[in-house]
């Protein structure tokens, strides 16, 4: 036997032994994590450990896992993360009670350390289990207990806690079983922990109902997107709560018009309805909003082939019962923020999805939301903005109303979407949608969303029209769709100028921001450009010239359709770019870009005079169809009492 052969055998044995040790460590990490009431696979029946998923921009997933799935990382993200969370949760609770911990650190110093780990699910869940959801919800209320609202600023630690605890709960939501019983209150319990169940117990504890106001703040902390299953489960818990305290009226920091004897009971600016908190969080998670507002029926297949060959969905019994519950619930200006946020989010799922019921469910839920919100006494501000997002995702309906052609497109429409009138009275939804357009028309932000969303819809519609064109004149097909969209701008102009110039400027700014219409010619391939609450920009209502507001979007379609003879050089053009996938983007975000773009058109539009002359006529063919005033619109849609 050669020495080389023996050496190789020894090396192989050492390798196998090392691999066995690594597997043993991983197995023990999974067992220890599960014994702490935390499992990363609650429905799979197999104990697993946690490692972060690859970021969205990672292309080589195998290489990512080869780098990430190491013993050191497994221990860092599991046993060490849990141990750190337990220690820091206990220390923070001590510091909040005494001003400093026994280690000498202030709450602010401890929170600064916590923020380094707050988005790790294992850390977040262990923290919630150790400190207790009730204690976490009480912390901001205790911090303001001795504060006189009328004369003092909000204690600085309150927004800090809202941000940190909101992220901790959000991270924990991805690992917590939404509906398991009993609720485990000990971090050492072997039972799977239910964060949703713990929240329910905390907000329904007698004398502590005001914790729901803090929950609302945590659910909407900046940068948080709570887990879908968790939110659906939490909504199921909260909808069963039928009584909650009245919200303090006229109470904000430094402007209290009431008394301050409730200092430790309510967080100003947030709803006391626990369901509103869950709905508010769904506003940042369209998938959760769809799953909650339009749950599928498990007893039958929701996809039924019809004559058109597309799918058809009918609302399940649970979906109908849930809408009836929401319609009968009492809503306040504060809780309407949550309701409108959820309907805004569900509307983002309306992009056509043949063979899938996602868009059908979302369209039905959006229609129900339109009816429901139109019946409310709507406050200005956030609710207006949420309604603007929802209406922005109702391209077919808003375009139909603006053109007086009804909310259900004709059968010959090539870009078909699921109708919001499915299973409902179309005339009632049309009237309700028109009412919401009126209500939102004095908000620059809402009008910005409406025009932005309907312009994206128009770009997708124009793309589909070009692909389906058999006349040999795709340019005319593009123009017709943008003539329809010009009526939307005309309507928003009539409504908002009558009520507030800011609203008009917001609409014009939206139509000018053509970075909102990425790859218009490719939208028919399923690219989602729906509006959502996450990442929604604040409108710069400086306004753009109305006559050029839609040209950028129309030219995007023309570029994608090959109608421009000599496209500009992206390297030397401020407003024109081409992505790695070949998608054209026209950006008119600045006055300089708008000026350069208009100069390019005046110079001949890239040697395409027919395109230039055709697009210069967008929206000017039928002046008799223009909206003369807000009263003209109200008369058309029965709004005498608005």
**CA separation for the pair 158, 176 (Å, rounded):** 26
Q: Do the domain assignments include residue 329?
A: no
pLDDT of residue 478: 95
The pLDDT tens digits for 585-612 are 888 778 888 889 989 999 999 999 999 9
The pLDDT tens digits for 135-174 are 999 999 998 886 665 556 778 899 999 999 999 999 999 9
The pLDDT tens digits for 107-116 are 999 999 999 9
Q: Which residue has the higher pLDDT, 466 or 263?
A: 466
- Whether residue 291 sits in one domain with residue 231: no
The pLDDT tens digits for 284-299 are 999 999 999 999 876 6
pLDDT of residue 4: 55
- Taking the CA atoms of 235, 239, 240 and 243 in sequence, report the sign of the dihedral they define: positive
**CA separation for the pair 251, 90 (Å, rounded):** 33
Among the ranges given (79-93, 208-222, 424-438, 580-594), the one the predictor scored with the smallest mean pLDDT:
580-594
Q: 166: which residues sit within 8 A by CB, 6+ positions away?
A: 217, 218, 219, 220, 221, 222, 224
Question: Which has the closest alpha carbon to 407: 384, 387, 432?
Answer: 432
| Three-class SS state of 181 | coil
- Whether residue 531 sits in one domain with residue 448: yes
Percent of the chain with pLDDT over 90: 51
Structure confidence at residue 422 as a pLDDT band (50, 70, 90): confident
Q: Which residue has the higher pLDDT, 89 or 538?
A: 89
pLDDT of residue 540: 38
Whether the predicted pLDDT of 60 surpasses 90: no
pLDDT of residue 312: 61
Whether the predicted pLDDT of 448 surpasses 70: yes
CA angle, corner 538, sides to 228 and 498, nearest 5?
115
Whether the predicted pLDDT of 543 surpasses 60: no
Q: Do the domain assignments include residue 547?
A: yes
**Alpha helix segments (H runs only) across 174-273:** 195-204, 211-219, 228-238
pLDDT of residue 21: 61
**CA separation for the pair 164, 599 (Å, rounded):** 50
Whether the predicted pLDDT of 511 surpasses 60: no
Structure confidence at residue 334 as a pLDDT band (50, 70, 90): very high
Q: What is the mean pLDDT of residues 270-288?
A: 96
- Whether residue 210 sits in one domain with residue 134: yes
Q: Do the domain assignments include residue 37?
A: no
- Whether residue 517 sits in one domain with residue 632: yes
Q: Do the domain assignments include residue 301?
A: no
What pTM value is reported for the model? 0.86
- Whether residue 47 sits in one domain with residue 105: no
| Three-class SS state of 563 | coil
SS (H, E, C) 410-426: CCCCCCCCCCCCCCCCH
- Whether residue 475 sits in one domain with residue 588: yes
Residue whose structure tokens are 């309510």: 266
Q: What is the mean pLDDT of residues 579-589?
A: 83
- Whether residue 83 sits in one domain with residue 69: no
Q: Do the domain assignments include residue 548?
A: yes
The pLDDT tens digits for 214-253 are 999 999 999 999 999 999 999 999 999 989 988 776 555 5
**Average pLDDT of every residue of the chain:** 82
Structure confidence at residue 545 as a pLDDT band (50, 70, 90): very low
Structure confidence at residue 126 as a pLDDT band (50, 70, 90): very high
Q: Which residue has the higher pLDDT, 400 or 1?
A: 400
Among the ranges given (59-68, 387-396, 498-507), the one the predictor scored with the smallest mean pLDDT:
498-507
Whether the predicted pLDDT of 398 surpasses 50: yes
Residue whose structure tokens are 């900046």: 222
pLDDT of residue 584: 87
Question: Which has the closest alpha carbon to 136: 181, 99, 166?
Answer: 166
* Contact assessment for residue 156 and residue 107, using Cβ atoms and an 8 Å cutoff: no
Q: Please give the backbone phi and psi of residue 436, each rounded to the nearest 5 degrees, phi first.
A: -65, -35
Structure confidence at residue 512 as a pLDDT band (50, 70, 90): very low
- Whether residue 292 sits in one domain with residue 403: yes
Question: Which has the closest alpha carbon to 448: 405, 534, 387?
Answer: 387
Structure confidence at residue 388 as a pLDDT band (50, 70, 90): very high
Q: Which residue has the higher pLDDT, 264 or 385?
A: 385
Element (H, E) at 385: helix 382-392
- Whether residue 506 sits in one domain with residue 484: yes
Task: Tell me the residue range of the domain where 23 lies.
Answer: 1-32+42-53+65-73
- Whether residue 292 sits in one domain with residue 252: no
Q: Do the domain assignments include residue 620?
A: yes
- Whether residue 205 sits in one domain with residue 128: yes
Among the ranges given (364-378, 424-438, 501-515, 566-580), the one the predictor scored with the smallest mean pLDDT:
501-515
- Whether residue 522 sits in one domain with residue 633: yes
Number of domains in the chain: 3
Whether the predicted pLDDT of 522 surpasses 60: no
pLDDT of residue 349: 94
pLDDT of residue 257: 44
**CA separation for the pair 416, 309 (Å, rounded):** 12
Q: Do the domain assignments include residue 111?
A: yes
152-156, 266-270, 508-512, 535-539: which has the highest mean pLDDT?
266-270
Q: Do the domain assignments include residue 304?
A: no
Q: Among 275, 307, 322, give the residue marking a domain's end.
A: 275
Whether the predicted pLDDT of 17 surpasses 80: no
């Amino acid at each position: 036997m050669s020495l080389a052969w023996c050496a190789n055998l020894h090396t192989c044995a050492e390798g196998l032994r090392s691999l066995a040790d690594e597997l043993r460590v991983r197995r023990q990490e999974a067992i220890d994590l599960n014994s702490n009431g935390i499992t990363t696979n609650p429905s799979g029946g197999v104990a697993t450990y946690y490692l972060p998923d690859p970021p969205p921009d990672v292309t080589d997933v195998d290489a990512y896992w080869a780098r990430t799935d190491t013993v050191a990382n497994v221990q860092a993200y599991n046993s060490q993360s849990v141990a750190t969370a337990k220690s820091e949760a206990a220390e923070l609770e001590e510091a909040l009670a005494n001003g400093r911990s026994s280690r000498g650190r202030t709450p602010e110093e401890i929170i600064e350390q916590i923020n380094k780990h707050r988005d790790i699910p294992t850390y977040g869940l262990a923290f919630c289990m150790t400190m207790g959801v009730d204690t976490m919800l009480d912390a901001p209320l205790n911090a303001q207990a001795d504060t006189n609202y009328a004369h003092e600023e909000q204690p600085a630690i309150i927004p800090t806690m809202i941000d940190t605890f909101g992220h901790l709960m959000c991270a924990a939501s991805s690992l917590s079983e939404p509906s398991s019983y009993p609720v485990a209150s000990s971090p050492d319990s072997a039972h799977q922990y239910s964060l949703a169940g713990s929240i329910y117990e905390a907000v329904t504890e007698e004398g502590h109902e005001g914790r729901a106001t803090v929950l609302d703040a945590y659910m909407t902390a900046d940068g948080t997107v709570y887990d879908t299953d968790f939110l659906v489960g939490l909504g199921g818990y909260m909808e069963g709560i039928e009584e909650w305290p009245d919200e303090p009226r006229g109470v904000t920091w430094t402007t209290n018009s009431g008394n301050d004897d409730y200092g430790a009971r309510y967080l100003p600016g947030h709803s006391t309805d626990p369901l509103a908190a869950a709905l508010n969080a769904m506003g940042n998670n369209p998938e959760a909003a769809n799953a909650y507002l339009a749950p599928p029926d498990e007893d039958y297949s929701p996809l039924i082939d019809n004559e058109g060959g597309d799918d058809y969905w009918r609302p399940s019994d649970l979906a109908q019962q849930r809408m009836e519950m929401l319609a009968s619930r009492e809503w306040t200006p504060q809780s309407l923020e949550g309701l409108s946020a959820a309907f805004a989010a569900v509307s983002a799922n309306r992009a056509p999805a043949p063979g899938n019921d996602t868009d059908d469910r979302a369209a039905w839920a959006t229609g129900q939301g339109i009816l429901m919100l139109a019946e409310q006494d709507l406050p200005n501000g956030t609710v207006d903005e949420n309604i603007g997002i929802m209406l922005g995702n109702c391209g077919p309906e808003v375009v139909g109303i603006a053109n007086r052609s009804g909310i259900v497109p004709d059968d010959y429409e090539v870009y078909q979407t699921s109708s919001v009138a499915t299973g409902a009275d179309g005339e009632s939804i049309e009237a309700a949608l028109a009412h919401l357009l009126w209500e939102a028309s004095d908000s620059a932000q809402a009008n910005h969303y409406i025009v932005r969303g309907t312009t994206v819809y128009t770009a997708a519609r124009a793309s589909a029209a070009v692909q389906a064109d058999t006349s040999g004149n795709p340019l005319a097909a593009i123009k017709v769709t943008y003539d329809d969209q010009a009526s939307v701008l005309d309507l928003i102009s009539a409504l908002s100028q009558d009520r507030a110039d800011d609203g008009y400027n917001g609409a014009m700014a939206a139509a000018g921001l053509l970075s909102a219409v990425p790859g218009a010619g490719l939208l028919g391939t399923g690219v989602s450009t729906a509006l959502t609450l996450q990442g929604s920009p604040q409108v710069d209502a400086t306004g753009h010239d109305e006559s050029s507001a839609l040209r950028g979007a129309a030219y995007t379609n023309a570029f994608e359709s090959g109608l421009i003879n000599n496209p500009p050089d992206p390297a030397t053009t401020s407003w024109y770019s081409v992505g790695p996938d070949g998608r054209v983007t026209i950006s008119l975000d600045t006055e300089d870009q708008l000026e350069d773009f208009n100069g390019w058109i005046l110079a001949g539009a890239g040697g395409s005079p027919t395109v230039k002359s055709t697009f210069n006529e967008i929206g000017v063919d039928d002046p008799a169809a223009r909206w003369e005033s807000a009263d003209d619109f109200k008369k058309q849609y029965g709004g005498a009492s608005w």
